[in-house]
Chain A
Amino acid sequence: DAEITQSPRHKITETGRQVTLACHQTWNHNNMFWYRQDLGHGLRLIHYSYGVHDTNKGEVSDGYSVSRSNTEDLPLTLESAASSQTSVYFCASRQGGLTGELFFGEGSRLTVL
Chain B
Amino acid sequence: KNQVEQSPQSLIILEGKNCTLQCNYTVSPFSNLRWYKQDTGRGPVSLTIMTFSENTKSNGRYTATLDADTKQSSLHITASQLSDSASYICVVMNSGGYQKVTFGIGTKLQVIP
- Give A contacts to B, CB under 8 Å: 31, 33, 40-45, 48, 50, 56, 58, 90, 92, 94, 96, 98-102, 104-107
- Where chain A touches its partner, the secondary structure class is loop
Q: Establish whether residues A48 and B98, one from each chain, have CB atoms under 8 Å apart when the complex forms.
A: yes
Tally the A-B contacts, defined by beta carbons under 8 Å. Answer: 55
Tell me whether B105 is interfacial, beta carbon within 8 Å.
Answer: yes
Q: What interface size band does chain B fall in?
A: 20 to 34
Contact with A along B47-64 (1 / 0, CB 8 A): 001010000000000000
- Give B contacts to A, CB under 8 Å: 4, 31-32, 34, 41-46, 49, 51, 89, 91, 93, 95, 98-99, 101-106
Q: Establish whether residues A90 and B43, one from each chain, have CB atoms under 8 Å apart when the complex forms.
A: yes
Q: Establish whether residues A105 and B43, one from each chain, have CB atoms under 8 Å apart when the complex forms.
A: yes
Q: Establish whether residues A106 and B98, one from each chain, have CB atoms under 8 Å apart when the complex forms.
A: no
The complex places the Cα of A31 from the Cα of B91 at a distance, in Å, of 17
